[in-house]
Structure 1
């Protein structure tokens, strides 16, 4: 995607002959709404991952969309503040209201328990292994009869522990 961007006719002349000096990335915060700082104060608004607006949902990490939505909300708030010539914390409080209105803070609240769930190591070790083993047992042709599905699942679930499965299932259901 980056190479396509660099080859775009509007971009290529700007970077032609240039030398890449540095490339960097950074870790994204995954603490959820509990780690969010105050979003606005006198003369300042915090957007994107600097504001903790990232969600690790397990199947995807949302961040770019939340960064864009928060930047749009901050930009509109800044335009409104400039029109009033008032950049006080009270004036910039409209930024938080805009994040409520566009759904960013609603999503952050909705998934507030997810960071705790994602800390469970079984989620990334034992459960994928269990799923792979169940599927392997179900689709292995070895000349013997295919055992009932419940028996296959139960035999693998017992390896993790039924109490662990129950606790993790409840925690997962309440986090999602």
Structure 2
């Protein structure tokens, strides 16, 4: 195991991962510094989502190393990786993946509430992000009552309101484009 450079927030080396015997990643290495924006591009099925899942600790690579702020994510126990994701990472997926029983503000506040942040403080932070994203008027609505575009904004608010160190965005505008096409 090689220690990552001190100035990298995320550092991965020689990642390998397969899905049902089909290679998803084969020797991928990447480093991301503080405040750096990294875009991963490629055709469908090229391993972009698998890479993001490995970097965020959602998946453990079959081979290789993933480090976050000099902590070895690839050797962490599942519960420790889960806490890391909850406390330090924000995630915006192509599909918003909101909890149907929760309102928009509750979905946005969920990372803070799971951390044990006071209800009032979590609601204030979530509401501020919903306002910034022009959907504060929908704060009390449940996901089924929202348009796809509005659900995606709630997902963005959820990723941002906890002030994560790293935000992972996996095709965050994909559903917005599909929603626009269906309205034509």
TM-score band by shorter chain is under 0.3
Which protein has greater RCO, CA pairs closer than 8 Å, 6+ apart? 2
Structure number with greater Rg is 1
Q: Tell me the TM-score normalised to structure 2 length.
A: 0.23
Q: Tell me the TM-score normalised to structure 1 length.
A: 0.24
Higher helix share: 1
